[in-house]
Amino acid sequence: MATSSDATYNALSRTIYHKVDIYLDGNNADPLSVTKDNYMITTSLLEEATSGDTPFDGVSSNEISINLHNLHSIFTPTNTTSIYYGKMKRGVKIIPYFRTSLTDDWGQIGTFYITNWAATPTSNIAVVTANDKLYNIFSQDAVDMPVSSNTTVSSFYTSFFALFNIVPVVDSSVTATLSKAFNELGNKEFLSALSSAFLCLCNCAHNGSVTIKELATTQALRATITDADQVKTIDVKLSISSDYDSAYLKYYVPQESAEGSVLNINALSLNSTDSTLIYTLNNKPLIQFKSISFNNDTTLLTFISALATSKTITINLADIPDNTVTSLNVNGVYLEKVGYEIGTQGENPLTIDSVYIQDTQSAINYKTIMDRFASSLTPIIQASIKGNPNFQIGDKIQLISTRYGVNFTGILMRQHFDYDGGLSCTITLLNSALVEVTT
């Protein structure tokens, strides 16, 4: 068998089957499958590439919310008599599926992990919310990555996700190189900054894998949707130029500093228990650790080791007398960033400030794309459609409507499915002509 086709999702009269598998007993056990025939009331599922409408916005995670009949408080987490007691908690895996025929295979539409399970003892409805694996990455402490030279953007993504034991699927279209690859930001901010600089979509695909795809590479048309099959209503947004009157870009050319101080503490008080010292460096990101020195007149310290990362240094000592006062200096080579500006700032400019745009030609190309957005009559289109779960974020879709006088080709940036026995969807398309030509 095969999953349901575009033709069956486009059919004038269609039946939508939907289930959500909840792995309450672990990922290797049979899941609880909820449908309209048992516990499911409604489902809301959001897939989006960015938190806004453009590739300049922040990377986002996908989310599903399920309303369940809470018969006899079976889905109340505090109900000790429930057969699911102790299992309704954060981190439980959820996989939603759709199909249009009982003879079709189920089509997976993401992998999610519960972030909230809400139901009181008297609630008739339990609300289960789950997010994809990016959400968990966003909520963790910022990672510390070494500075590297002439690093491909593809390998930089791969190195980042490896820290979370994730192997991303990076499209062959991602071919750019960073003269200096480094990270000074939180995890969400880092992915947003890197993706924005190279016009990449970073999101979770229907099979649950993290995927990275470049918008600027021309791709084949995935589908054409019309009044006759999918289109219900269309909202043609006003030009971004109504919000922005100019475009302004600040970029940075990175370079290595001369050897110098990256940490200096003039009056450092130590006791015998202070055998491991950890400090955030003043000048970072650090490229190379060179030397360390303690300066005092009367006290001898036993130095064991020092380990520096791009952001911190860890120093191990021994035989420290109580009430020791010394000074500490750490030398190294760190990254300096020389900033340049392109464009003028009007009353309300579209402004990008990016440390990952690192040379003049790349900045000129990027500024050209910004100018297109600022002057485009229709940078995006939002439409209400019947919904086709076969579409994935990043697909190129043509929208033709005689009723609304629209012929628009765009990249799918967002789709929000609602299911209540029938399926409906709102989508956002980004004008593909704005990003596919970079010069």
Range of the domain at 332: 243-372
- CATH number where 97 lies: 2.40.10
pLDDT exceeds 80 at position 181: yes
pLDDT exceeds 60 at position 241: no
Given 133, 157, 179, which residue is the final one in a domain? 133
Condensed to tens digits (0 to 9), the pLDDT of residues 200-222 reads: 999 999 999 999 999 988 999 99
Predicted confidence band at 239 (pLDDT cuts at 50, 70, 90)?
A: very low
In a domain, 362, yes or no: yes
Percent of the chain scored above 70 by pLDDT? 97
Given 133, 151, 167, which residue is the final one in a domain? 133
Condensed to tens digits (0 to 9), the pLDDT of residues 19-51 reads: 999 999 999 999 999 999 999 999 999 999 999
Give pLDDT, residue 357. Answer: 97
Instruction: Indicate the average pLDDT of the chain.
Output: 92
Give pLDDT, residue 232. Answer: 94
First and final CA of the chain: distance in angstroms?
45
Q: Are 405 and 364 in contact (CB under 8 A)?
A: no
CB under 8 Å to 201, separation ≥6 — which residues? Answer: 49, 50, 55, 195, 211, 212, 213, 214, 215, 393, 394, 411, 413
pLDDT exceeds 80 at position 144: yes
Hunting for tokens 């599922």 — which residue is that?
Answer: 45
Q: Are 80 and 121 in contact (CB under 8 A)?
A: no
Give pLDDT, residue 101. Answer: 95
Backbone torsions φ then ψ of 273, nearest 5 degrees: -85, -10
Give pLDDT, residue 240. Answer: 47
pLDDT exceeds 50 at position 174: yes
Query: What's the average model confidence in pLDDT over 114-127?
Result: 94
Give pLDDT, residue 1. Answer: 66
Predicted confidence band at 242 (pLDDT cuts at 50, 70, 90)?
A: low
Residue 271 vs residue 158, higher pLDDT: 158
Predicted confidence band at 245 (pLDDT cuts at 50, 70, 90)?
A: confident
In a domain, 351, yes or no: yes
Give pLDDT, residue 161. Answer: 98
Rounded to whole angstroms, how far apart are CA atoms 160 and 59? 15
Backbone torsions φ then ψ of 375, nearest 5 degrees: -110, -5
In a domain, 420, yes or no: no
Tell me the whole-structure pTM to 2 decimals. Answer: 0.91
Q: Which of these, 119, 136, 223, 205, lies nearest to 168 by C-alpha position?
A: 205
Give pLDDT, residue 39. Answer: 96
Condensed to tens digits (0 to 9), the pLDDT of residues 372-390 reads: 888 888 889 999 999 999 9
Predicted confidence band at 297 (pLDDT cuts at 50, 70, 90)?
A: low
Question: What is the number of structural domains in the chain?
Answer: 2
Give pLDDT, residue 438. Answer: 47
In a domain, 95, yes or no: yes
In a domain, 398, yes or no: no
In a domain, 138, yes or no: no
In a domain, 413, yes or no: no
Give pLDDT, residue 301. Answer: 80
Query: What's the average model confidence in pLDDT over 104-110?
Result: 97
Hunting for tokens 């228990």 — which residue is that?
Answer: 273
In a domain, 182, yes or no: no
pLDDT exceeds 60 at position 127: yes
User: What sign results for the dihedral spanned by CA atoms 316, 319, 324, 330?
Assistant: negative
Same domain, residue pair 129 and 247: no
Q: The tokens of 390 are what?
A: 């076969």
Given 84, 113, 133, which residue is the final one in a domain? 133
